[in-house]
Amino acid sequence: MSVTLFLSEQMTYIDVILPLPLKATFTYAVHEEMAQRVKRGCRVVVPFGKTKHYTAIVDRIHHETPEGYEVKYVFALLEEQPAVLPGQLKLWDWMADYYMCARGDVYNAAVPAGLKLDFKPKVETHVRLTEAYRTEEALQGLLDAMKRAVKQQELLLTYLHLSAFFEGGPREVSKQDLLTHGHASAEVFNALVKRGVLETYFFVVSRLGDESSQVRELKPLNVHQQKALDEIHQCFENQSVCLLYGVTSSGKTEIYTHLIEETIQQGKQVLYLLPEIALTTQITERLKRVFGGKLGIYHSKFSDAERVEIWNKQLSDEPYQIILGARSSVFLPYQQLGLVIVDEEHESSYKQQDPAPRYHARNTALMLAAIGGAKTLLGTATPSVESWYNATEAGKYGLVELKERYQEIQLPEILPVDIKELRRKKMMHGHFSPILKEKMEEALHRGEQIILFQNRRGFAPLVECHDCGWVPRCVHCDVSLTYHKYTHQLVCHYCGYSVTVPQVCPECGSRDLRDRGFGTEKVEDEIKEMFPQARVARMDLDTTRSKTAYEKMIRDFERQRTDILIGTQMVSKGLDFDHVRLVGILNADTMLNYPDFRAYERAYQLMAQVAGRAGRKGERGMVILQTGHVDYPIIRQVMNNDFEAMVRTQLAERQMCHFPPFYRLVYIYIKHRDRELAENMTAVLAAQLVKVFGQERVNGPMQPAVSRVHSLHIGMIMLKIENNASMAQARQLLLQMQQQMLQDARFKTLQLYYDVDPV
């Protein structure tokens, strides 16, 4: 047998990634005809189990016959050109490895559902003249001949009008539009088709919208901004990551704009990441004005069909040069990535909590840039302790500072107010101190706008029985239900369970059920009482469930249709309003009392960011900071805008207590319906971990913040690994342990998962 013959008879196999949370790779055989065409990253349909079929991604093509089972054949190859690029597969591998989840989990999160099924483009039926009638003479003759078929004649004229036939047309006309505009029935239309005048055809409609918008020049940078930009360039000469630490309203966005322009001039692509979809509204408008159709937006609130179109466009010869998006945009295909901007890099919403992959989009973006050979710019007014450490002591990133606000407007004056004292003296008006009330009056009088910030944590409004103290709780989760006044419902914010508020207390029969606690709704009521004339808007999770509701609220505030904006965390983030001079922080204390090693860092970031919304244009702003702890150092740090003092004390504390950035954390979760089993197994696992990693690296079993969700009991263990130790080895050990424990039959019914670098 000759060698060539031997080779051609060799069977081809592919290893594929299935959209399932499975660790293993699956191997399928490929028919010879398909073997010539299949490439890594292509989508294939494969049989799985007895009846199922999945769209899988080809990861490896080889000739190694798998042993021990009968190999099935691939059903279909969906394309000749890969839908997933090699760089993306590399990123998936890294994510599965680093975040300790299955590659199938990553695949599921990364790829829009439409690509996992058979994606159908949006098709409309369009109408056109048949070949015979596309000249003016032919049409004239036809119209004369149709004198007695008035309705048909009218519909034909409507078509000629819509298609602009005599004005340089024809334009596309959908059947739907024609019938609507012509006020015609399908019968009249069909008659024209039968007569051989009109014909229909299928037209694939783009969902991406009109891209031919007017573009404007970049704004010239001022001297401080130009200096920062020069320093960023310098930094990129020998480092691939740069932290831009620029105070609020210093014009970071303008600097990004210039960098983006330079990058696309070089024919490279840019990814501009924002922590939340909500934030994209304002920035999108700013960037659209400059980059027009070169800019694409991508996030999870888009319909799946739209996401598929963007994905395909990024694979095409004419991809968007700039993608602006929330965390899922790290998953898009990039052919020529040159720059990644991570705006508001300190934001914890960059971390995906559930489901797997529980990834941090900032860190994933850093990896994405590294794979693509691109630079990364992290920007913020309040760096995360981790990034600050990396840019200073660790020397991993470059650091560029921008301390001047645009037009040298001073940072706002911050006035702390001791609400503990005022409460004692009974001088508070609900949640408003006399000084805050007075400043609000002044502002309203001067026609200025006001932002009030109310931290969400720990302030869920509850219903309570006034007689026995009973509080309604979720039947599936270990949390109390939140009261929604306008719908008169009690809602679980973990699982969505909801009930109407009961008439009487189920414990004692009392009718005196009152709403307790301090949500934004309550603040709104108090304002309406104090300033009945003021137009108030409330921005929180309940009022902004839809993206349009949020956008409308921002637009109304921008156009000064509202005077006071009350909000939770949402109002702290990167918004840019011109007429806000006064910002009130209603109560700083819940931020400080939270039992989490990041509580101080978070509190500082939140307060500094909220304060940063004041006085961005024109006059210096003012912030009233209400707290029961005016003597805490952090209050002074916020007042003096002394980020460096905050981060110094935090770093010292973290080093002493073995927390990031000196140690990496891995949380291990165990879930089960049976509480005792969950508790026992968590204890067994903790003991095992102590044996392998040593006592000082294991904390737990710990009480998670919420110990039951969706009727599952949760056990948690915290593992701390030195920053300079091998994470790969630690992961290896963990997975080995998990394997061993699976030998214990009781473990088979448990859910076990990891949260690496939790926030």
**Which structure tokens are listed for 127?**
């109408």
Per CB under 6 A, 248 contacts ligand ADP: yes
User: Quick check: 614 binds ligand ADP (CB under 6 A)?
Assistant: no
Radius of gyration of the chain (CA): 31
497-516 residues near Zn ion, rule: CB under 5 A: 497, 505, 507-508, 510
Whether 144 and 152 have beta carbons less than 8 Å apart is answered as no
251 forms part of the interface with ligand ADP (CB under 6 A): yes
Number of residues that bind Zn ion (CB under 5 A): 15
CA distance 17 to 11: 20
- Can you list the positions of beta strands (E) in 349-395? 375-380
Binding residue for ligand ADP (CB under 6 A) from 253, 314, 329, 387?
253
Contact assessment for residue 614 and residue 581, using Cβ atoms and an 8 Å cutoff: yes
Does the footprint of Zn ion cover residue 473 (CB under 5 A)? no
Residue 404 binding ligand ADP, by CB under 6 A: no
User: Interacting stretch for ligand ADP, rule CB under 6 A, among 82-90, 119-127, 244-252, 674-682?
Assistant: 244-252
Does residue 284 belong to the site contacting ligand ADP (CB under 6 A)? no
Closest CA relative to residue 720, chosen from 654, 673, 659: 659
Q: Is 476 exposed, middle or buried (0-12, 13-18, 19+ CB in 10 A)?
A: middle
Least gap, CB of 284 to ligand ADP (angstroms)? 13
Q: Decide if residue 523 touches Zn ion (CB under 5 A).
A: no
Binds ligand ADP (CB under 6 A): choice among 55, 250, 626, 707: 250
Out of 114, 246, 319, 660, point to the residue binding ligand ADP (CB under 6 A).
246
Residues 560-589 as x/- pattern, contact with ligand ADP by CB under 6 A: ----------------x-------------
Nearest distance, CB of residue 11 and Zn ion, angstroms: 52
Report, in Å, the least distance between residue 324 CB and ligand ADP.
14
Decide if residue 606 touches Zn ion (CB under 5 A): no
User: Shortest gap between Cβ of 253 and ligand ADP (angstroms)?
Assistant: 3
Q: Which residues contact 174 (CB under 8 A, 6 or more apart)?
A: 124, 125, 126, 127, 203
The 8-class DSSP code of residue 184 comes to: -
Q: Which stretch binds ligand ADP (CB under 6 A): 35-43, 202-210, 216-224, 726-734?
A: 216-224
250 binds, among Zn ion, ligand ADP, none (CB under 5 to 8 A by kind): ligand ADP
Q: Which of 38, 221, 297, 310 binds ligand ADP (CB under 6 A)?
A: 221
Per-residue contact string for residues 633-662; x = within reach of ligand ADP by CB under 6 A = ------------------------------
Q: What is the DSSP string of 304-323?
A: HHHHHHHHHHHHSSS--SEE
User: From CA 54, how far away is CA 76, in angstroms rounded?
Assistant: 11
Shortest separation between residue 387's beta carbon and ligand ADP, angstroms: 16
> 87 burial class (0-12, 13-18, 19+ CB within 10 angstroms)?
middle
Three-state DSSP class for 433? coil
- Count interface residues toward ligand ADP (CB under 6 A): 15
336-369 burial string, b = 16+ CB within 10 Å, else e?
ebbbbbbbbbbbbbbbbeeebbbbbbbbbbbbbb
Does 477 bind Zn ion (CB under 5 A)? Our answer is yes
Query: CA 37: distance to chain centroid?
Result: 36
- Considering the rule CB under 5 A, would residue 485 count as an interface residue with Zn ion? no
Per CB under 6 A, does 225 bind ligand ADP? Answer: yes
The total number of residues shown for the chain amounts to 759
Partner from ligand ADP, Zn ion, none binding residue 246, C-beta < 5-8 Å depending on class: ligand ADP
Phi then psi for residue 403, to 5 deg, are -100, -5
Residues near ligand ADP (CB under 6 A) are 219, 221-222, 225, 246, 248-254, 406, 576, 616
